[in-house]
A and B are shown apart, each in its own frame.
Chain A
Amino acid sequence: MKIAVDERGYYGNFGGAYIPEMLYPNVEELRQNYLSILNDEGFRKDFDHLLKTYVGRPTPLYFAKRLSERYQAKIYLKREDLCHTGAHKVNNTIGQILLAKRLNKKNIIAETGAGQHGVATATVCALMGMECIVYMGEIDMERQKPNVERMRILGTEVRPATSGSKTLKDATNEAMRHWINNPVDTHYIIGSVVGPHPYPDMVARFQSVISEEIKWQLKETEGLESPDYVIACVGGGSNAAGAFYHYYENDDVKLIAVEAAGLGNETGKSAATTTLGKPGVLHGSRTLLMQTKDGQVVEPYSISAGLDYPGIGPVQAHLFESGRAKFYSATDEEAMKAGILLSRLEGIIPAIETAHALAALEKMTFSKDDVVVLNLSGRGDKDLETYIKWGRY
C-alpha cells in the first residue's frame, strides 16, 4: 500500500497544516525547503556522519534468543535504546538542528513530555552551540526531575507550561505560542510525527534510518530484507514511523502499532487514541484525537509519560484507518510486566513506552518461523523510579 504524504500535506484523510496565520511564514519556509535540504548531498553527509560518530549508529539488530523461545518466533530487537541519550528521539533532533542551521536559525525551541525529546534537543543544541528553550508541563517537570536537570546541565532553559493540564499537550501549546511571538530566527524542533505539514513527513524521514538499517541487517542474518512483523509502540508515533517507513509498500510485512491503554480503555484512564479518539484538529493537523463530544481535547492517561498524548500523528491515523497497520493497546499492568520480563530474559531494561510494544507479544500468535522485529525505542534508566514504585520484580 502506498503510504506517503500528498502535495497538500495529507495522508489520506489526515494531516494538513491547521495553523494560525502568524505561523504561516515559518511553516511555509520549512515546507518549501525541507525536501531540497534533506536531499542535499552535503546535508546527507553531515547527518550520516553525526549519526555514526555521535549517536552511535547503526544500532544493533539483536536476536533475542530467550524471548524468541518464550514466544515461539524469531524475535529481533532493534536497539534504539543504545542511541546516545537513550532513545530514538536523537535521530530527529540531529536532523532538525542541521536543517535549522541551513535555514540560518539562531534559536531553538522544543516541547517535551517525559523529557526524552527535551534532552535530545538540549544535547544537539549544546553540540551546535545554539540557544535552546524547552517547554515542559509543570506536572511533568515534577514527575521527571532528572531529565529537567539533564537539560539544564546541557545549558538549556526549561520553561514550565503552567496552562491547561500542565502536561505534554500544554507544553506543545506553549512552544507554539513562543514561536508565534518569535517568528524570526527561531526553529521549533517538534519531537514526533505530529504538528502541521511538513513536520510529520520530515520527522518520519529522519527516523526512517531505523528501518533502513533493519533491512540490511536482517539481510545479513536472515538472508531477507523483510520480516513478517514489525512491532512498535505509538504515542505520537515517531519510532513506529521510523521502523515502518521502508516497509509501508511491502504488504507482506505486517505492521503492529501498540498504544497505551493506561488503566484500561473502558476506565477513561487511557491514552489509546485509535480506540477512544475521533477525527479532530490539534497542534496543526487533522488526526485522530481524544476529545469530548463538544470537541474539547481530553487529557489522556498512561503510566508512560512518553505515550501520554491525546492524539497520534496523521500517518498513524491513516495507517489505522486504511488497515495497513494493526493497532493493539496495552495497559500499565501489561506493559510493566513485559518490561520486567525483558529485563529478566535478555538483560535489557526497556523504557516503559517500549514495554508497551513488548506487551503485544503476549497478545499475538506466531508461527515458529515468523521473523519479528520489535523496535526497542528507548532504555529504562529514566524510568527507574516508576519501576521502583511498581515494585513487583
Chain B
Amino acid sequence: MPVILTKNRIEQLFEEKKENILSVYFTAGFPKLEDTAKIVKYLENSGADIIEVGIPFSDPVADGPTIQESNKTALDNGISLKLIFEQLSDIRKEVKIPLILMGYINPVLQYGVEAFCKKCVEIGVDGFILPDLPLQEYLDEYKTIFERYGLLNIFLITPQTSDARIRRIDNNSRGFIYMVSLAGTTGAKGDISEDQVNYFKRVKKMNLNNPALIGFGISNKLTFNRACAHASGAIIGSAFINVLKNSKNLEKDISGFIKSVKGIQ
C-alpha cells in the first residue's frame, strides 16, 4: 500500500503562507544530465517556495522557444522519466518544500499512471501539472488514482476561461490554481498589461476556494511583484531556464537570481 501523507506539502504551504509565494520551474536533465537534484537543492536554499520539475517531451506544444529548447537539450542529454525518478530518489533527505512534476501526459502514460503515482509517493512528490490533460479526461480516468495516492493535480486557467469553467476547475482542484497570465505559450513578454491586471482582478473577485499562482511571462522582480499584488504568488519558468543556460556556477547564479526576484540583497 502506498504511504498517504496526512497533509500534502502544497496545501500546508498555502495554509502557512498567503502571499509572495515563488514557484520555480526548470527542466530535468538541463543544462547537464546530472544537474536535476542539484538545482532542486539550490532552489530550496535560495528561498524558492515550490519547485516544478519539468519532465521533458519531444513535442511541448504549450511552451515557447526557451522551454522547447531546454526540453530538446535534456532529451539529447539522455533524460527519461525513469532517470528523473532515480535522480530524485534521495531528494527528501535534504529538501522540504513542495515538489511538483510538470510535463505532458504521454511520457506518464508510457510509464504507467499507477506506477508513476507510486513512484512519486515513494520519492515525495506532491503533485502534478499536466497541461495537456484536460479537466474532463482527468475526472473520467485519473482523479481516482491520483487521489488514492494523495497527489494533487494542478489545473490551468487562462484569460479566455469563462467564469463558469473557472468555478468548475476550482471545485475540482486542490492545492492551487495555475493562472496563466496571458493568451500565449510560456516565455517572457515584457511588462504586465492593463488587460492582464483586469483579468487578475476578475478572478480575485470570484473568491475561489483555492489560492492562485500567476505564471507565463513572469521573469523578474518587477513582474513578480506585480503578479503577487493580485494572487498568492507567481511562477517563473523560462527566465530561470535562461539563467541555467548561461550559468558557469549554478549554485551562485541560482541564488543570485532567486534573491533578485524576491528583492533580497
Q: Do A and B come from one complex?
A: yes
B133-171 interface code vs A (CB 8 A; 1 in, 0 out): 110110010000000000000011110111001000000
Cα-based distance from A163 to B64 in the complex (angstroms): 10
Residue of B nearest to A196 (CB): B134
Chain A residues whose C-beta falls within 8 Å of the C-beta of B64 in the assembled complex: 177
Asked whether A18 and B132 contact (CB < 8 A) given A183-B160, A296-B57, the answer is yes
- Give residues of chain A (281-295) contacting chain B, Cβ–Cβ below 8 Å: 281-284, 289, 291, 293-295
- Flag whether B180 is at the interface (Cβ < 8 A): yes
- Give residues of chain A (83-112) contacting chain B, Cβ–Cβ below 8 Å: none
- Flag whether B109 is at the interface (Cβ < 8 A): yes
Chain B residues whose C-beta falls within 8 Å of the C-beta of A176 in the assembled complex: 61
* Closest Cβ–Cβ distance, residue B108 to chain A (whole Å): 7
Report whether B81 and A8 are in contact in the complex, using a CB–CB cutoff of 8 Å: no
Cα-based distance from A180 to B184 in the complex (angstroms): 5
In-complex Cβ contact of B160 among A22, A169, A289 (8 A): A22
- Flag whether A297 is at the interface (Cβ < 8 A): yes
Residue of A nearest to B103 (CB): A295
Question: Chain A: how many interface residues by the 8 Å CB criterion?
Answer: 36
- Flag whether B47 is at the interface (Cβ < 8 A): no
Chain A residues whose C-beta falls within 8 Å of the C-beta of B210 in the assembled complex: none
- Flag whether A322 is at the interface (Cβ < 8 A): no
Residue of B nearest to A174 (CB): B61
Chain B residues whose C-beta falls within 8 Å of the C-beta of A295 in the assembled complex: 57, 81, 106-111
- Give residues of chain A (202-250) contacting chain B, Cβ–Cβ below 8 Å: none
Cα-based distance from A19 to B59 in the complex (angstroms): 13
- Flag whether A266 is at the interface (Cβ < 8 A): no
- Flag whether A143 is at the interface (Cβ < 8 A): no
* Closest Cβ–Cβ distance, residue A168 to chain B (whole Å): 12
* Closest Cβ–Cβ distance, residue A181 to chain B (whole Å): 5
Report whether A21 and B131 are in contact in the complex, using a CB–CB cutoff of 8 Å: yes
Report whether B183 and A180 are in contact in the complex, using a CB–CB cutoff of 8 Å: yes
In-complex Cβ contact of A18 among B60, B65, B75, B133 (8 A): B133
Residue of B nearest to A27 (CB): B134
Residue of A nearest to B55 (CB): A295
Report whether B183 and A22 are in contact in the complex, using a CB–CB cutoff of 8 Å: yes
Residue of B nearest to A16 (CB): B137
Asked whether A21 and B183 contact (CB < 8 A) given A164-B58, A294-B81, A295-B106, the answer is no
Which 8 A-B residue pairings sit nearest by Cβ, starting from the closest?
A295-B110, A295-B107, A21-B156, A294-B80, A20-B62, A296-B58, A20-B131, A295-B106
Seed contacts A180-B185, A291-B110; 5 additional CB < 8 Å A-B pairs: A22-B180, A163-B65, A289-B106, A294-B107, A295-B107
